[in-house]
Amino acid sequence: MFAKLLIANRGEIACRVIATARRMGIATVAVYSDADADARHVELADEAYRIGPPPARASYLRIEAILDAAQRAGVQAVHPGYGFLSENAAFAEACAQAGIVFVGPSPSAIRAMGGKAESKALMERAGVPLVPGYHGAAQDEATLRDAARRIGYPVLIKASAGGGGKGMRVVLDDAEFCSGLAGAQREARASFGDDRVLIERYLQRPRHIEFQVFADTHDNVVHLFERDCSIQRRHQKVIEEAPAPGMAVELRARMGEAAIAAARAVGYVGAGTVEFIVEDGAFYFMEMNTRLQVEHPVTEFVTGLDLVEWQLRVAAGEPLPVLQAALAMNGHAIEARIYAEDPARDFLPSVGTLTHLQAPEPSASVRVDTGVRAGDAISANYDPMIAKLIVHGTDRAESVRRLMSALGRYEVAGVQTNLRLLRGIVAHAAFVAAELDTGFIHRHAATLLASPPEPSPAVVAAAVVALLEIQVAGWPDPWAEADSWRLNLQSWQAIVLRGAGGDISVRARRHADKVLILRDGLTQTVHTHREGSRLRLRAGGASHVVTVLRDDSRVTVIEGGETFVFDSVDRLAPPATVAAGAGRIVAPIPGRIAAVLVAAGANVVRGQPLVVLEAMKMEITLSAASDGIAAIVRCSVGEMVEEGRELVEVTAA
């Protein structure tokens, strides 16, 4: 076994690999960009080496920088994690040339499965079912468009070298084809340095089911059963579970055999995932990921195995610890990915500092994989995933209940998150009934992406208490208070809380450990007790515990996992100047300009794409809010822009 291991990655997967290596007595080496100098994975590793500035292409994608760190540290092996260089055959070859073991498959296997078109041709020869489509070498627009017409709309354009939903577009008709192709090629080129695509028939309500496979150098190949990854947004998985609900024994056997056949067809070694689309009892090969998957913890929960340990043992030349006949599943596991993003704004990533982060307590049935801590920043340079929350139960019903409970105890402040969306999915009757397919979120969007609930009286009271800075020890010194206290008069203070749902006006005054709140003609007496950020409120015979965070005039209250943000409004302040918004196209987050689709002076119509911004491993298309003329274009391709930067000014025609 290796004495020292370098993890060529960051975030939660680097932390995950470090945990297993430490348990196995293997010393660990981290690498970091300037943005990650104080990151959690750097803190956990035994050693760490700088590899470059924040952009991934200047650090985590620099093969020479990572190998230099590996040689300086004297490691015997490199674990690539997932993403970045994990499926890069050139990196695997460079490791071998440097005398370092790459914890993964051979370069030839990576190449064979790395190109979706090539892998599908290989699978066809191996007898694995394929979705009807075009996987040819010709990549000119005319050939690809003709192929789409032959296949029949709707079609799915996919980056040949892709993964993680990058470089993927659904095209509903011929009129959308050219723009969809250009977008997929552009995103593929930016994400993978390869703009080749393939085209497949777009199945209407498929399930996404994948099989975990493992192979060693002793000709042993097994599958560790399936995962259902149908709950997706932007073609990226959000919730995954094992086993797949309703999976028939006979279908599992056939799909498992196909997955093993796929691995054998390329002489595979290590951990891999064979992904299938399933519809109406038929399954089709989609792709093979030649690495560990983000969702591997659900397989670990139901099998009781450590897949990273298996990876390391196989890479060290050992045989698989368990063969197929001895493998079995126990119970049900579900994973939810917690992202810094705003689902109400088409899942736009959210950048900022994690001012508060509280996860459920880990246990035998609850696991949290994360690479961040309170105080860390979510930047535009990397994927916006905060954590993975994984639960296990004796059956699916128990697992769903545990996940719902755990999501209610997960608290994040400082950035927008998808926590409310996740709670909505898990509580939805269709999810509880296991009515799953890849269009789940889109089909139930009216419910899942509905406006947030109105703040409860307890939430309003907590925000008022925070603004009054209640002191539970006794009377404060009135001469030191910056409130509305007056000699010989009761000290009532007018407060206006501005939240997502509008303004809330109250009058309040405090006395020892209680606060009187006057709202809509009714007075509420609230007794309080604070311990750090936790505030216990007792009013009207009911008791509530909430989290309260104050940053100057902004208050964040978290109740039952729901986050409410209020700004205290100064009624005497002059009104803020409102800039013309409808005609200004601004960058919603920091990023790189991937495409400028309009020239100065051109006529534009409402909804017309004007600029494509690349940030956090995804593309964001910015469109015109109204008809008019693109009077000024203030950006160019390749330029880095900050949040709020004006990119295009549209004036009335």
Count the Cβ atoms, other than its own, within 10 Å of residue 104.
Answer: 29
The residue from 233, 291, 367, 396 that is catalytic is: 291
Q: Per the structure block, which two tokens stand in for 182?
A: 């250009």
Beta bridge partners of 619: 614
Alpha-carbon gap, residue 121 to 249, rounded angstroms: 28
Sole residue written with tokens 């996992």: 561
Q: Per the structure block, which two tokens stand in for 283?
A: 């399954």
**What H or E segment, with its residue span, contains residue 647?**
strand 646-651
Beta bridge partners of 640: 592
Alpha-carbon gap, residue 456 to 620, rounded angstroms: 35
Which of helix, strand or coil describes residue 359? coil
Of 78, 69, 70, give the one whose Cα is nearest residue 2.
Answer: 78
Give strand ranges (E) for 244-281. 270-279
**What H or E segment, with its residue span, contains residue 446?**
helix 445-448
Which of helix, strand or coil describes residue 158? strand
For 156-174, give one letter per residue: b (16+ CB within 10 A) or e.
bbbbbbbbbbbbbbebeee
Alpha-carbon gap, residue 410 to 46, rounded angstroms: 29
- HSE-up of 284 (CA within 13 Å, CB side)? 15
CA-to-CA dists, residue 44 to 29, 41, 359, 393, angstroms: 9, 5, 19, 30
Q: Give 486's DSSP letter.
A: B
Rounded to a whole number of angstroms, the CA Rg of the chain reads 27
To the query of whether residue 536 is one of the catalytic residues in this protein, the response is no
Pairing type for strands 207-215 and 270-279 reads antiparallel
Alpha-carbon gap, residue 338 to 559, rounded angstroms: 18
Could you give the angle at the alpha carbon of 339 between the alpha carbons of 336 and 342, nearest 5°? 120
Do 188 and 117 form a contact (C-beta atoms < 8 A)?
Answer: no
Alpha-carbon gap, residue 56 to 40, rounded angstroms: 18
Which residues participate in catalysis according to the annotation?
291
